[in-house]
Structures are given as structure tokens and as C-alpha cells.
Amino acid sequence: MDIKSFVLKKAREAKEGARSVAKASSGLKNSALIKMADTIKKKTGELQRENRKDLVAAKKKGLSKAMINRLTLTAKSIDEMAQGLVEIAALPDPVGEITKMWQRPNGMMVGKMRVPIGVIGIIYESRPNVTADATALCLKAGNAVILRGGSEAINSNRAIVKILRGVAAKEGIHEGVITFIDNTDRQAIMEMLKLEGLIDVVIPRGGEGLIRAVTENSRIPVLKHYKGVCHVFVDRDADLQMAEDICFNAKVQRPGTCNAMETMLVDEKIVKKFLPPMIKRFKKAKVLIKGCPGTRKLDKSLAAAADEDFYKEYVDLILNVKVVNDIDGAMDHIAKYSSAHTDSIVTKDYQKAMRFLREVDSSSVFVNASTRLSDGFQFGLGAEMGISTDKIHARGPMGLEELTCMKFIVLGNGQIRT
């Protein structure tokens, strides 16, 4: 069978799965998830055996140590994968919620009901745990998933999918609910992206290159996560100790994440008081600081930040520091350079806090908190499918609700249009 027909057949199977799981009760979905977790734990040995094939191939190909780490299934990471499914089973089922309902003059009731999206395509790289995570989130929200993982993890992914499908079938959910594109040719992705009407939305999870390629080629809506160029603005009316703690945490606690601060903006009125101890603390933590002219006036040992640096997602212990006139200068800078992921203000001033909240056009806008808290679990969503930097459908951390959509329902008693 050619790739095109193969992918089409798979997508039709996923559509069947979607119809089946959309009707499944919460009880059935939860018990399937818990049995999937049990089976994964029981088959740890088998999963590791399959994973080893991928690891051997990865070493042969000379993949980086970081890549190989992400690829490795240890007994601990398999246990965590299983635990993730149990946690998703414990979350409330978003399907069926009626968020509002109102009566019209002709007596009909109009409402909005939360329903599954249908078939969700996940295109991802290396990490095999995504196979279980993404499946569980989609299934809990009543969707089928059509998975296309990277070639590096093909054996691990295949083994995980086999377990998940086996449990689904035993529980009476159509196997298509977990559909795996067992073909690592890039053309398989391109064929998926044409299947408007069979696949309802695509979520690419991986590097910027993958996301751009998917977006440029897809006829299907894409929910995407580009980079996180996050800012903290320290206002003249900030509690300076709080500001220092927030900025330090935002940069240093885990610099390799998308919600770490990349640029610190400082109100010119407090530069002399705030910056010297802050810079000292950053230097002690081995943060490389790139300063604007105003910052370097204060500390000539600092490197100079070039304009293009302000667009960079370092995901490393590197930080831009820029002095701004006031909150307007800070918001102008953010409007120009931010990736609209997460931006925070530190201030004691109520008016400025409210202006920043309203006017900064980012998916998460914070007052007096570290950008590192921008995360589905920290927000209390209970799960996270990724962080959307899109504005359409989902913005910011995506939980189960973002894997559903709202349809209109009408309860009438014979109404017609006149």
C-alpha cells in the first residue's frame, strides 16, 4: 500500500475510534486508563526491551547525549508514565458540561455544551512518554488520537501503542481511538496534514523546525507552541526584595524551560538601588548578563546586548537586562520583542498592575509572581498537553478543556422560523 492510502486508512480508523470514545461514559474511560497504567507497569520488561532497540540505533546514528536521555525508558520513567495515566483518570471529565443556557423570546432554550473535538493528530519527536500522555489526555476528553512519533523512538512507541490499544479493545472502546502511523517517512506527515474532515486538529510537539513545517503544510487547524521569550518588569514601585526573588527564580530555577525569563526590564528610577545586588546574585549563579547601555553604565564588565538578542529564547543561564523609562517603555518593549508566552510585572501599585494585566497581549500575564509558574499543573489544570502560543482556540497551558469544543444545543417544543 502506498503511503497516501496507508495514512488515509489509518485516519478513517481513527474517525471510527472517535465516534466510539465520544459516547463512552466517564466510568468506562477512567477504568480503561487505570487498566492501561496497570498493563504498562506489568510490561516494564517488554517496554525496556523494545526501547533498547531504539537506544542501540540512536548510538549508532551518533545522537546527542541529551537526545538519548529523552529517549530512554527507565523503570522509573515507565512507572511515572503509568502514574500519569492514573492521574488523568482522576481528573473531572470535561465532556457534557453545559456552560450556559438561556431562553429566547419564542420559548426555545439555547445552550452551549462541551463535546470532544474528534480526531486529534499528534506529531512529536523522540520522547516516547508522549505516546502515553497524549493518548490519555485525548481519550479522557473523548477524542481519538492519531500519533506520528519520530523514527528514533519507533520501537518504543509501537510497544506502548500495542499495550494501550489492547486495553481499549478489551474495554469495548474501538481500537481506532489510539491510531499509530507506523511509518517514519516524512511523507506520512504531509499526507496527514491534508486530511481535513478526518483529522480535526493537529498538535505538533517538538522543535521550532517541526512546528513551522507542520504549520506551513497543514490544511487542518494547528495548535502550536512556539518559543517562550518571557519578561519580568521591575516597576519603580516594586517591593525590591520580592522583585529580586522573583527575577532570580524566573531565570535560575530551571533555565532550560520555555517559561524561564529571558529579559529583565528595570524601571530607570530604581536602577541604582535594584540592579547592583541583583546582578551580583545572578553572577554568583553563573548567569551571563547582556546589558543595554543603561545597564552597562552601572557595570562595565557586562557584555552588550544586541537588538537581536532581545528576540532570543536562550533556554540557558543567559539574561538580557534593559533599563526602561517606565511601565509604558516596558510594555512597548514587550509588544515588540515578547513571544507572547508569559510576562510578569513586579509592583505594589494597583493601577499599574491592572494596566499591565489588561494591556500586555501574552497568553499568561502575571503580577508579582515568577514566570516559572506558567504551567498547567501550577495553574491547577491537573494536566498539560503543551502551552499554546496561539490565540485561536487555546492560549497558554492546555488542559483537558482545551481538548474539547463547544457546540450549540437547542431545546424546543415546536419552534419554527417566521
Reduced to 3 states (helix: H, G, I; strand: E, B; else coil), residue 299 is coil
Q: Which of 45, 92, 96, 207 binds its own copies (CB under 8 A)?
A: 96
Question: Does residue 191 interact with its own copies by CB under 8 A?
Answer: no
Positions in 119-148 near its own copies (CB under 8 A): none
| Contact window for its own copies (CB under 8 A) among 124-132, 147-155, 194-202, 305-313 | 194-202
Task: Choose the stretch contacting its own copies; rule: CB under 8 A; options: 72-80, 174-182, 302-310, 367-375.
Answer: 367-375
Task: Check residue 392 for interaction with its own copies (CB under 8 A).
Answer: yes
8 C-beta neighbours (distance < 10 Å), count: 17
Nearest-angstrom CA–CA distance, 333 and 315: 20
Q: What is the DSSP letter of 177?
A: G
Binding to its own copies, residues 334-363 (CB under 8 A): 335, 344, 353, 357-359, 361-363
User: Angle 44-61/154-171 helices, nearest 10 degrees?
Assistant: 150
Alpha-carbon distance of 365 to 375, in angstroms, equals 12
Question: Measured between alpha carbons, how far is 97 from 210 in angstroms, rounded to an integer?
Answer: 34
Phi–psi pair at 393, nearest 5 degrees: 70, -60
**How many chain residues interact with its own copies (CB under 8 A)?**
72
Query: Of the candidates 125, 200, 235, 309, which one interacts with its own copies according to CB under 8 A?
Result: 200
Based on the shown chain and the rule CB under 8 A, indicate whether residue 374 belongs to the binding site for its own copies: yes
**In 10 A of CB 108, how many CB atoms?**
14
In the complex with its own copies, which residue's Cβ is closer, 75 or 335? Answer: 335
Site mask for its own copies (CB under 8 A), range 242-281, x = bound: x--xx--xx--xx---------------------------
By beta-carbon proximity to its own copies, the closer residue of 21 and 188 is: 21
- Cβ nearer to its own copies, comparing 18 with 82: 18
Closest approach, Cβ 103 to its own copies, in A, equals 9
Looking at 23, 59, 186, 284, which residue binds its own copies (CB under 8 A)?
A: 23
Residue 369: count other Cβ atoms within 10 Å of its Cβ: 19
**Which of the residues 302 through 331 are near its own copies (CB under 8 A)?**
none
Residue numbers 47-76 binding its own copies by CB under 8 A: none
- Among the listed residues 222, 234, 275, 278, the single contact to its own copies using CB under 8 A: 222
Helix pair 75-90, 44-61: axis angle to 10 deg: 120
Judged by CB, which is closer to its own copies: 69, or 415? 415
**Contact call for residue 228 and its own copies (CB under 8 A):** no
Q: Which is nearer to its own copies, 118 or 150 (CB)?
A: 118
CA distance 34 to 28: 10
Residue selected from 4, 9, 61, 104 as contacting its own copies according to rule CB under 8 A: 104
Could you say whether residue 190 binds its own copies (CB under 8 A)? no
Determine contact, residues 113/407, Cβ cutoff 8 Å. Answer: yes
Pairing between strand 201-205 and 230-234? unpaired
Instruction: Give which of 173, 177, 163, 159 is closest to 39, Cα–Cα.
Output: 163
Segment contacting its own copies (CB under 8 A): 42-50, 170-178, 320-328, 376-384? 376-384
Q: Are 354 and 347 in contact (CB under 8 A)?
A: no
- Enter the C-alpha cell of residue 312: 532570543
| Nearest of 418, 402, 407 to residue 120 by alpha carbon | 402
